[in-house]
Structures are given as structure tokens and as C-alpha cells.
Amino acid sequence: MKILSIETSCDETAIALLSCEGSYDAPTINVTNQALYSQVKEHAPFGGVFPALAKREHAKNLVPLLLEVLTTAKETGINKSTPTLEQRERIQEILSQEGGLFELFEKHVFTLGRPSLDAIAVTNGPGLEPALWVGISFAKALSYLWDIPIIPVNHMEGHVLSVLVNRERHPHFASRGTHLITYPAIALLVSGGHTELVHVKEPLVYETIGETRDDAVGEAFDKVARLLSLPYPGGPEISKLAQASRADGEIVPPNLVFPRPMIASDSFDFSYAGLKTAVLYKIRELGELTEETKRLIARSFEDAAIDVLITKTRRALDEFDTKTLIVGGGVIANTYLRERLEALHEDFPHITLLLPTRELSTDNAIMIGIAGYARYMKNKDAYTAFDTQDIRANGTLSL
């Protein structure tokens, strides 16, 4: 089955073309093509993602990315055709709220013809609603024009299933270890918007056992980076400084050790706002920071943030029957977290640890296509043409 997938929940505009086979619980996923535009440069002056700007950038970039994915894909079998007046008007209506997207669609997509695709998967939440809507409207327009079903996808399910890409055929995108999840599994999801521990009882069945009560871990990385005047996005910058500190064998002095919020609590919930505030107070107390102190603060913050993730994950593995540990979301790009997970894994040799590659850790459309395929295979009848389903953006959609 050929799936076109679209991701616009935050500041990455991404489209992928996947060729999928197999059942929903053990699919084989091959990436035919993918294109991604990161808006990091556009948002950097604001020090965070600015929703109206994200929406405008998605509207500008979706059509060029679609063309990139389809024209370089040999397998799509594009046939030229001209839309009817009725089709043109309907699509104009579907895209009426999405800035200049209709104009780009008219110029480039109408002339493209109908590619051989079986379905379109699109993120419908969680995320920034104005950003999500651009992707959804675009998917609806394509679904209508090409008369293929549309599959709404939960972005967090995408992060969970991002480890499933076929390892042999796509070493660049393949997950570490096998590309099969055995159930039940525990998923640790760590991104700019989420910090969650999820018990995956069986394929596509989730129970959230813990989540952040305030800031997400990626958000804490980004905020602490800002306090240290590091460039946006801050996660990778903190990580670089912290790794340099470790490589030099530096010891964090006691006055720079930060608290590990909720580490001893029975709950699987997290809290990162207090850690960020502790860093803020320390920086105020110290006044002017030397490069060496900055490095130690970054290191000490990362130690604290990741200690909590590892401790809670260890407890989840102790408490729940688990065959696989999956970790997904942008923060799994962090080298130290990966090292700590490998070390944790040594204590649970009977469990398979699945980590996405760095490319699949941060937001992308491949993971959305995987989740879309799994959902479709589980319940084909639920996914029909765009106007028979009420697909809406839901900023707070949960698993």
C-alpha cells in the first residue's frame, strides 16, 4: 500500500511517501521518498515557535515539498489530467483559510495529475492548531482531488511507531535493533511538548501512566538554553556543552547541583518547571557567567533532567510486564540520554530497546505514515474520503 503522509504540527513541514506491507501489528515499512523543511531559522529570532509564522511557512512549503516527493519518486506513475470547474471551486473552499496555499495548489498540483497512491495520512494533533490545520486542509484537498481515503494520525503515536522502518532497506532511517515491536511495551516520549510514559498493552492500545505536570523536558532544555544565552533551539546546544564537560572529566561542584523534581515520588508523573527555576535562581545568584560556569550549568542541568527520565523509566520496567522499551521524540536525539538508556538496558537484558535514528527522532512525516498505515490496516472501513469524516485539528489530542 502506498501512503503519502503529511506533518505540520509544529515547526517542521514534512511529507513522505511510504510503501507498506503486512498487518497492523507487524508492518513492513519502506520509505520511498521524504522531504522536510525545518523552520528553525524563521523562529530563532522569537526564541521559540511562533504559531502564526509556523502556519504561514507551512502554507508556503507544502506544495514544493509535495512536488519534491512525487517528481523524484519513480513509483508514483503520474498521469496528467485537468480538474473540472467544480473540483477547482471545492478545493478553493477547502483551502480558503490557509493563506496562499490555494494559489500554489492551483499552479502546481492541478497540473500534476493523479499519482498512484492508496491513502493520505495527516497529523491532526497534538500540536499548534493553526499549524495542524494547514496540513489537514492540504490533505483534504488532495484526498478530494485524487479520490483516496484520508487517515488522521496522532503525532505521539507517530513517535511511538517511528522505530518500525525497515532496517535492511533503509539503514539511514532504520531504528536501532530489530524493526519489530513485541508487546506489551513501555514508551517514553520526550519532546518539546510532551514528557510521557505510556504502557502499550497491545498494538495501538495505550495507557498513559505518567506525564509532565508542567513543562516538557525538551521545553526545559530550550528554556535553560535561553537562560544561558545559547542559540535556539537550545536542546542540542546544551547537549554539546554537557558532552564537552563530560569529555574533559569535569566534576560538578556541590553548589551547581540541581534538584531532580519528583524523582522519589511514587507517581510516574514528571515536573520540569522547578528544575528550570532552580537554574534561573542560580544564574541570578552568580551574576556574570564565565564560559566554564555555563558549561557546568548545562552539564548539571542535563544530568538532573535525564536522571529523572531514567529513574522513572526503570520503575516502569520494574512494575509493568514489558517486552520492548521504545523511546521517541526530539529529546532522544540527545547523546547522553541514549547512553543512559543503553546502560539501563543492561539491567533488563530480556527487554528489547528500540530507539529511532536521529533523523526519525525529531518531527518528520515518515512516522506519521507508519502510524497511518497501522491505523488503516486495523480498521479500513473507518477511513474514507475526506468529506465523510469530520477531521479537525486538536491541539491537545491524547493517545
| Residue among 199, 145, 399, 214 at smallest CA distance from 317 | 199
Number of residues that bind ligand KG4 (CB under 6 A): 20
Q: Which residue has the cell 483559510?
A: 97
Residue 333 interacts with which of ligand KG4, Zn ion, none, CB < 5 to 8 Å by class: ligand KG4
Provide the angle, in degrees to the nearest 10, between the axes of the packed helices 335-346 and 234-247.
Answer: 60
Instruction: Take residue 202 and report the three cell numbers written for it.
Output: 497491545
For residue 282, give the amino acid letter. Answer: K
Q: Alpha-carbon distance 169 to 59, whole Å?
A: 32
243 touching ligand KG4, by CB under 6 A = no
Give me the least distance between CB of 63 and ligand KG4, in Å please. 23
Taking CB under 6 A as the criterion, the residue among 146, 221, 270, 373 binding ligand KG4 is 221
Give me the least distance between CB of 263 and ligand KG4, in Å please. 19
Nearer to Zn ion among residue 62 and residue 360 (C-beta): 360
Residue 239 interacts with which of ligand KG4, Zn ion, none, CB < 5 to 8 Å by class: ligand KG4
10 touching ligand KG4, by CB under 6 A = yes
- Show Cβ contacts of residue 202 under 8 Å, excluding neighbours closer than 6 positions: 25, 183, 184
Give me the least distance between CB of 175 and ligand KG4, in Å please. 16
Residue 65 interacts with which of ligand KG4, Zn ion, none, CB < 5 to 8 Å by class: none
Point out which residues pair with 303 in neighbouring strands: none
Q: For the segment 183-212, give every residue that binds Zn ion (CB under 5 A).
A: 191
- Say if strands 119-125 and 150-154 run parallel, antiparallel, or are unpaired: parallel
**Which SS3 state, helix, strand or coil, does residue 33 take?**
strand
Q: Where is 32: in which H helix or E strand?
A: strand 28-38
215 touching Zn ion, by CB under 5 A = no
Residue 372 interacts with which of Zn ion, ligand KG4, none, CB < 5 to 8 Å by class: none
12 touching Zn ion, by CB under 5 A = no
CA distances for 42 relative to 38, 54, 55, 358, angstroms: 9, 9, 12, 22
Q: For the segment 193-212, give every residue that binds ligand KG4 (CB under 6 A).
A: 193
363 touching Zn ion, by CB under 5 A = yes
Number of residues that bind Zn ion (CB under 5 A): 2
Nearer to Zn ion among residue 130 and residue 149 (C-beta): 130
| Residue among 312, 27, 315 at smallest CA distance from 162 | 27
Give me the least distance between CB of 288 and ligand KG4, in Å please. 26
Residue 206 interacts with which of Zn ion, ligand KG4, none, CB < 5 to 8 Å by class: none
Q: Alpha-carbon distance 190 to 210, whole Å?
A: 12
**Which SS3 state, helix, strand or coil, does residue 290 take?**
coil
Nearer to ligand KG4 among residue 203 and residue 234 (C-beta): 234
Q: Which residue has the cell 547512553?
A: 339
329 touching ligand KG4, by CB under 6 A = yes
For residue 13, give the DSSP letter: E
Residue 218 interacts with which of ligand KG4, Zn ion, none, CB < 5 to 8 Å by class: ligand KG4
Nearer to ligand KG4 among residue 88 and residue 176 (C-beta): 176
Span near Zn ion by CB under 5 A; candidates 167-175, 182-190, 275-283, 356-364? 356-364
Start-end of H helices in the chain: 40-43, 51-71, 85-94, 101-104, 129-146, 155-161, 217-227, 234-247, 273-286, 291-319, 335-346, 358-361, 366-378
Nearer to ligand KG4 among residue 234 and residue 261 (C-beta): 234
For residue 25, give the DSSP letter: T
| Residues at the interface with ligand KG4 (CB under 6 A) | 10, 191-193, 218-219, 221-222, 233-236, 239, 329-331, 333-334, 362-363
